[in-house]
Amino acid sequence: MITVGIDVGSISTKAALLDDEKFYYLLKPTGWSPRQAGLDCFTELLARGGYERQQVDFVVATGYGRITQPFASKVVTEITCHARGANHLVSDASLVIDIGGQDSKVIRVDGQGRVLDFVMNDKCAAGTGRFLQVMGAALGVEVSELSELARGRSPVTLNSMCAVFAESEVIGLLAAGREKGEIVAGLFQSISRRIASMAQRLAVPQKVVFTGGVALNEGMRERLQRELGAEVVAPVDCQYAGAIGAAILARDFLSRKN
């Protein structure tokens, strides 16, 4: 049985192909057309693995561009897919924090990766990956460089929670001679505090699973760990959690149908 999960996110589109027990992944920038990004990601993943379209038994689409995918057999919400994907990546996951490009969510899951409860912020850019991208641009660095810059630095206190005001504040701090590393550490602290207060609404267990592209930042993981007072685990394939969950749910749907 071969299934595919496509997670069409605001920043990047991720595809996961599940062939028996083995996963294959591909990521592409979403760009201006979620429909095209999903199609390109799907087609290229199949081509790279040497698969024909007819070999794929079921496709689940998720993410903000999920309804735009004509080849999808079914559409499933991100919360459901992320929960299932996180459970696959860390089998004893009970609380999942997902920080993507334009939203952040905290999901309480059961032992099978089913959603028990969740809290979501999709109204405000602060506490999202986009916020870090905007701040990275103001500092003249890539998001992938932020962690290294902040390593071992004491965070400056940022007063602005709003992404627009925080950008001006960061520019002001640079002009006042503050080092980039301290500012990035301050940004990690400000996002982590925001996420921690969301997580505390669902009660924080000893171990928390961190997914989404922002979980690639080791500095964010460390800061979140400190603010939560819990172990925070970011699996290597953290950015693929939604696509992985979608591919597994596709397999589940198919099994139920047959």
Residue 186 binds ligand ADP (CB under 6 A): no
Residue closer to ligand ADP, measured from CB, 9 or 186? 9
Q: Which of residues 226-245 bind ligand ADP (CB under 6 A)?
A: 239
Is residue 9 part of the contact set for ligand ADP (CB under 6 A)?
Answer: yes
Query: Binder to ligand ADP among 55, 144, 197, 200 (CB under 6 A)?
Result: 144
15: left (phi over 0), alpha (psi -120 to 50) or beta: beta
Kindly state whether residue 100 participates in binding ligand ADP, applying the rule CB under 6 A: yes
For the bound state, the minimum distance from the C-beta of residue 141 to ligand ADP, rounded and expressed in Å, comes to 11
Hey, what are 245's tokens? 């969950």
Piece of the chain touching ligand ADP by CB under 6 A; list 10-18, 67-75, 81-89, 224-232: 10-18
Per CB under 6 A, 133 contacts ligand ADP: yes
111-135 exposure pattern, b = at least 16 Cβ within 10 A, e = fewer: eebebeebbebeeebbbbbbbbbbb
* Residue from 107, 106, 191, 103 nearest 147 by CA: 191
Secondary structure element (H or E) that encloses residue 132, with its range: helix 129-139
Member of 213, 219, 235, 245 binding ligand ADP (CB under 6 A): 213
> What is the Cα–Cα distance from 76 to 88, expressed in whole angstroms?
17
Number of neighbours of residue 5 by Cβ within 10 angstroms: 34
Which of 2, 158 has the CB closer to ligand ADP? Answer: 158
In the complex, the residues that contact ligand ADP under the rule CB under 6 A are 9-12, 63, 100-102, 129-130, 132-133, 143-144, 212-214, 216-217, 239
